[in-house]
Chain A
């Protein structure tokens, strides 16, 4: 599903690369944690996958498409197949939970008929039935993150990428969010979660990719967080 070949990413003006010669293969339906301290290159890794950044060297394939050499006009198509979740939720404050999710379908030209069918369904899946008319500031952090996950998943993408999705949440709520990702993963969706939440990673025993200083230092099935504090 995701294939990363000898990828190096150096920001303009930076003296050392943010990502150094990384090779990773992620299969369809896998659940993968990307771990490492702040500044280790986790966010850069995710931004490379949605082609917000283009690697300085190497190739990235998603579902067989070489996204580093992709035409600009094709990028939206790529992003429709990848759902993104962020630490700060990125919800529109003047739209309700329902409207926030519907917006994602609306702007890619989905007909109203499909929007009316899919949005309530995905809100039920993330456990927000009854909250669909609430505005973000009326929802708790965990609920807002559920809206954001619903928005990422509503178009049934093949891949979900999450960048520190529990960074602003307390441990109990974080656990709920992680089990939601697990649930989504069981529908056959590939899930990649970047986090520095040690407890979570140790509990879930999933594949772990550990980054340090932009280098992949460990790729472990049923792994643990593993850094010494």
Chain B
């Protein structure tokens, strides 16, 4: 059989113009579903990204006692570094460096004049590969004679982890429900298209049109509906993203917000694929039920 894409596309659009109300409903539902999915994924990605960047800074700070000999400090650092399954980086901050930092941060304030000598302890700043492992690392370090105290911003990290997890799940569940609704609506639109063309289909079967020749226009129609829904969702999402980013930047100028453009393109691509899949699945459902060829 010669392949005539023009024929299929023409048939798909003809059918769309006939049943445009039901098709619009199907497209709108695809859009909603992907919008919800995209929005929650965007939030999860952004928070995750922000977390990654902050994690990379410092997670656990280990303050050392004054007067610990340099060799012990050295051996402690190499020990922590040897836990390289969990630990990304260990930085030693000497007493002098700590003071320098403080001076820099409070430049121009008269607070520094009140400090005599150097009351600041030396410390290790540890960043982790997986922030969830922080507790374990803290446990391992506790009770050592070199260590004065350990600071670990446990709650913030945990809250962020839970928040991204929840955002992802909420997104997936709501989007899944909406996607199912979209699938059913597309199947319904395709069913109407099949019904409208039942005479032609009967004759096509009778004269021996191949099964795929009969199926293609309907499959294509569903895919187009899914695709259009996805494109609209992506357009709305990019507007939302721009608006949020502007506001967040204004409010929290010091935070690294936003998403690397690579992840954004991956998300866009995923949404397009999801739209196409919903469309194809919807028409496949209708074809199975209503078009026994």
Q: Which residues of A contact B (CB under 8 A)?
A: 50, 72-73, 75-81, 84, 90, 92, 103-104, 107-109, 111, 151, 155
> Given A73-B211, A76-B209, A79-B208, is A108 in contact with B1 using a C-beta cutoff of 8 Å?
yes
- A residues less than 8 Å from B204 (CB atoms): 107
Q: Which residues of A contact B2 (CB under 8 A)?
A: 109, 111
Distance in Å: Cβ of A32 to nearest Cβ of chain B:
20
Contact B207 A107 (CB under 8 A): yes
Q: Of all chain B residues, which has the CB nearest A110?
A: B2
B155-185 vs A, Cβ < 8 Å mask (1 yes, 0 no): 0000000000000000000000000000000
Which residues of B are found within 8 Å of A92, using beta-carbon distances?
Answer: 199-200, 203
Taking CB atoms, residues of chain B closer than 8 Å to A76 are: 205, 208-211
Specify which chain B residues have a CB less than 8 angstroms from the CB of A50 in the assembled complex: 206
Q: Enumerate B186-209 residues with CB–CB distance to A below 8 Å.
A: 199-200, 202-209
A selection of 13 A-B contacts at a CB cut-off of 8 Å is A72-B211, A73-B210, A73-B211, A75-B208, A76-B210, A79-B206, A79-B208, A92-B199, A107-B209, A108-B208, A108-B209, A109-B4, A155-B207
Write out the residue numbers on chain A whose beta carbons fall within 8 Å of the beta carbon of B290: none
Contact of A104 among B1, B203, B210, B211 (CB under 8 A): B203
Is B213 an interface residue when CB atoms closer than 8 A count as contact? yes
Query: Could you say which of A75, A90, A104, A108 contacts B202, with CB atoms under 8 Å apart?
Result: A90
Query: Which of A72, A78, A90 meets B203, CB within 8 Å?
Result: A90
Closest to B197 in A: A92
Interface size class of B (residues with CB under 8 A): 10 to 19
Contact B203–A109 (Cβ < 8 Å)? no
B199 touches A107 (CB 8 A): no
A155 to B209, CA, bound (A): 12
* B209 to chain A: closest residue by CB: A107
Contact partners of A109 in chain B: CB under 8 A: 1-2, 4, 210, 213
A111 contacts across to B, CB distance below 8 A? 2
- Give B210's nearest chain A residue, CB to CB: A76
A152 to chain B, nearest CB (A): 8
Q: What is the distance, in angstroms, from A122's C-beta to the closest C-beta of chain B? A: 13
B1 neighbours in A (Cβ, 8 Å): 108-109
CB-contact partner of B206 in A72, A73, A90, under 8 A: A90
Residue numbers in A under 8 Å from B4 (CB-CB): 109
When C-beta atoms are compared, the residue in chain A nearest to B200 turns out to be A92
Closest residue to A100 on the B side, CB-wise? B203
CA of A78 to CA of B211 in the docked complex: distance in angstroms?
Answer: 13
Residue of B at shortest CB range from A82? B208
Please measure, in the bound complex, the distance between the C-alpha atom of A76 and the C-alpha atom of B201, giving whole angstroms. 13
| A78 contacts B208, C-beta separation under 8 Å | yes
Given known pairs A107-B213, A109-B1, A111-B2, the reply for A80 and B203 (CB within 8 Å) is no
A33 to B206, CA, bound (A): 21
CA distance A108 to B48 in the complex (A): 55
Q: With a 10 A CB-CB cut-off, give which of A76, A84, A103, A155 has the most chain B CB atoms.
A: A76
| B211 and A80 form a contact (CB under 8 A) | no
A151 to B199, CA, bound (A): 15
Given contacts A90-B199, A90-B202, A109-B1, contact A80 B207 (CB under 8 A): yes
Q: Nearest residue in B to A93 (C-beta to C-beta)?
A: B199
Q: Mark B209-236, 1 if CB is under 8 A from A, else 0.
A: 1110100000000000000000000000
Q: A104-B207, A108-B210 are in contact. List 14 more A-B contacts (CB 8 A).
A: A73-B210, A73-B211, A76-B208, A76-B209, A76-B210, A79-B208, A90-B199, A90-B202, A90-B203, A92-B199, A107-B209, A108-B1, A111-B2, A155-B207
